[in-house]
């Protein structure tokens, strides 16, 4: 019989090393998978991990890495604060959608007036507010009625998706779109466009916001009393209460902040890379960000790196599909392996595997 025994003091070194080990294990297992699909595993792994950064078309892919990593990092930073305190916002996808809708709606309300100094900042505020508002629903329900924020925030994703569909077909539909769903393209509207700051670099305001969020979270967690309260609550809720932490305020703070950041990500995405509100606007950043947060050990710098790595597997995975003919499902399996190995090695960090019968205690 195999059983797991909790390690009394899990190794700190290993806690930080496991993500790296998981990446290596994923490469090996993924290589075997690709070999079974009759593809050269070395070429496949190189296409996914090396070519986007150093290959022939790296000038394009490097920018795309930022485009893809930006929203992931921005959302994951917000989520990590709550996760540290044991507050589980699983519905960032919904807050992301609402941020996009609020931001786009403000921009479209001004169309075709040109006043970037006014409209774009207002859109940013509206985006953050939309996400904040959507996260406040599970927040207030939890503090008032003690509902489970995991369920409420998750189910609100589906509500947000329905609102998104309704917006693309009704209120925000492009009046010149010949009856097709989808809003006007914000990228073609100077005052609302979140275009690349330098053409070809991929860097848009959302990526800038993500980097600012990383620094902000780092300072908050290491220097600010709120960061201390968050960590304390996560490690020992009882001790936190004795230390005078108001749990309700902390819940609202964490949910509100993560919602606002997710909303910002949505707004920057809809005004930039996506360009328009459409029924299929959301592609799962809010859910992938959960993986990014854990892959980054809930640490701001870790999340920054994890976001980049996740973006790399997407971009490289797509490249491998087109250039090597790998099926999309193989790429998804490959990404799934990453999380699987991370969780598996986490178990080994915190537990010892024992064979045989349980020894008499």
Partner 1 sequence: MKKRTFLLTGVAAAALASGAFADGHAPVKVGFIYVGPIGDGGWTYEHNKGRLAVEEHFGDKVETVFQENVPEGADAERAMTQMALQGADLIFTTSFGYMDPTIAVAAKFPDVKFEHATGYKRADNVSTYSARFYEGRAIQGHIAGNMTKTNKIGYIASFPIPEVIRGINSAYLHAKKVNPDVEFSIVWAYTWFDPAKEADAAKALIENGADVILQHTDSTAPQAAAADAGNVVTFGQASDMGEYAPFPRVSSIIDDWAPYYIQRVQAVMDGTWESVDTWDGIGPGMVGIGEITDAVPADVKAEAEAMRDAIGAGEYHPFTGPINKQDGSVWLAAGETASDGDLAGMSFYIEGLTGEIPN
Q: Which of these segments, 106-114, 146-154, 256-264, 268-276, binds partner 1 (CB under 8 A)?
A: 268-276
What CA–CA distance (Å, rounded) separates 316 from 54? 12
Nearer residue to partner 1 within complex by CB, 221 or 267: 267
CB of 63 to partner 1, least distance (A): 9
| 83, 301 Cβ separation under 8 angstroms | no
73 in contact with partner 1 (CB under 8 A): no
359 in contact with partner 1 (CB under 8 A): no
| 89, 254 Cβ separation under 8 angstroms | yes
Instruction: Identify the residue among 225, 322, 359, 360 touching partner 1 (CB under 8 A).
Output: 322
Binders of partner 1 among residues 8 to 27 (CB under 8 A) are none
Binders of partner 1 among residues 149 to 208 (CB under 8 A) are 165-166, 169-170, 173, 178-182, 185, 187, 199-200
Q: Which of these segments, 93-101, 147-155, 228-236, 272-280, binds partner 1 (CB under 8 A)?
A: 272-280
Token code pair at residue 79: 């989520």
Spatial CA neighbour of 298 closest among 71, 83, 74 = 83
Nearer residue to partner 1 within complex by CB, 149 or 269: 269
What CA–CA distance (Å, rounded) separates 233 from 306? 25
CB of 328 to partner 1, least distance (A): 4
Q: What is the distance of C-alpha 330 from the center of its chain? A: 22
What CA–CA distance (Å, rounded) separates 298 from 307? 12
What CA–CA distance (Å, rounded) separates 41 from 64? 24
Instruction: Identify the residue among 83, 269, 296, 304 touching partner 1 (CB under 8 A).
Output: 269
Residue 88: CA atoms inside 13 Å, Cβ hemisphere, count?
10
67 in contact with partner 1 (CB under 8 A): yes
Instruction: Identify the residue among 273, 286, 300, 307 touching partner 1 (CB under 8 A).
Output: 273
Token look-up 């930080």 returns 16
Token code pair at residue 206: 């959302």
Long-range contact list for 217-220, CB < 8 A, 24+ apart? 217/77, 217/80, 217/81, 217/300, 218/300, 218/301, 220/81
Site for partner 1 (CB under 8 A): how many residues?
40
316 in contact with partner 1 (CB under 8 A): no
346 in contact with partner 1 (CB under 8 A): no
276 in contact with partner 1 (CB under 8 A): yes
54 in contact with partner 1 (CB under 8 A): no
What CA–CA distance (Å, rounded) separates 257 from 74? 11
Residues that bind partner 1 (CB under 8 A): 56-57, 59-60, 64, 67, 165-166, 169-170, 173, 178-182, 185, 187, 199-200, 269, 273-276, 278-281, 283, 315, 318-319, 321-323, 325, 327-329
């Amino acid at each position: 019989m195999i059983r797991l025994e909790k390690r009394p003091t899990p190794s700190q070194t290993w806690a930080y090393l496991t993500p790296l080990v998981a990446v290596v294990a994923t490469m090996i297992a993924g290589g075997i998978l690709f070999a079974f699909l009759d593809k050269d595993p070395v070429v496949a792994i190189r296409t996914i991990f090396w070519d986007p950064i150093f290959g022939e078309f790296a000038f394009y892919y490097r920018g795309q890495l930022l485009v893809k990593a930006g929203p992931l990092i921005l959302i994951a930073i917000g989520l990590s604060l709550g996760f540290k305190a044991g507050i589980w916002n699983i519905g960032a996808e919904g807050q992301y959608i609402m941020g996009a809708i609020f931001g786009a709606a403000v921009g479209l309300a001004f169309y075709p007036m040109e006043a970037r100094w006014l409209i774009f900042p207002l859109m940013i505020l509206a985006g953050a507010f939309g996400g904040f508002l959507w996260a406040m629903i599970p927040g207030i329900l939890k503090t008032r009625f003690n509902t489970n924020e995991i369920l409420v925030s998750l189910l609100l994703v589906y509500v947000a998706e329905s609102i998104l569909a309704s917006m693309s077909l009704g209120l925000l539909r492009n009046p010149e779109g010949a009856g097709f769903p989808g809003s006007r393209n914000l990228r073609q509207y100077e005052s609302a466009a979140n275009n690349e700051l330098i053409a070809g670099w991929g860097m848009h305001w959302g990526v800038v916001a993500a980097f600012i969020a990383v620094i902000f979270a780092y300072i908050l967690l290491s220097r600010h009393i709120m960061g201390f309260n968050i960590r304390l609550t996560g490690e020992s809720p009882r001790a936190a209460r004795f230390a005078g932490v108001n749990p309700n305020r902390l819940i609202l703070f964490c949910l509100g902040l993560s919602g606002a950041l997710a909303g910002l990500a949505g707004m920057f995405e809809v005004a930039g890379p996506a360009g328009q509100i459409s029924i299929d606007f959301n592609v799962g950043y809010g859910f992938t960000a959960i993986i990014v947060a854990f892959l980054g050990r809930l640490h701001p710098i870790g999340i920054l790196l994890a976001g980049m790595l996740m973006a790399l597997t997407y971009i490289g995975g797509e490249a491998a599909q087109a250039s090597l003919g790998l099926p999309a499902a193989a790429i998804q399996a490959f990404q799934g392996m990453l999380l699987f190995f991370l969780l598996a090695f986490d178990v080994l960090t915190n537990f010892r595997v024992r064979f045989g019968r349980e020894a008499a205690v």
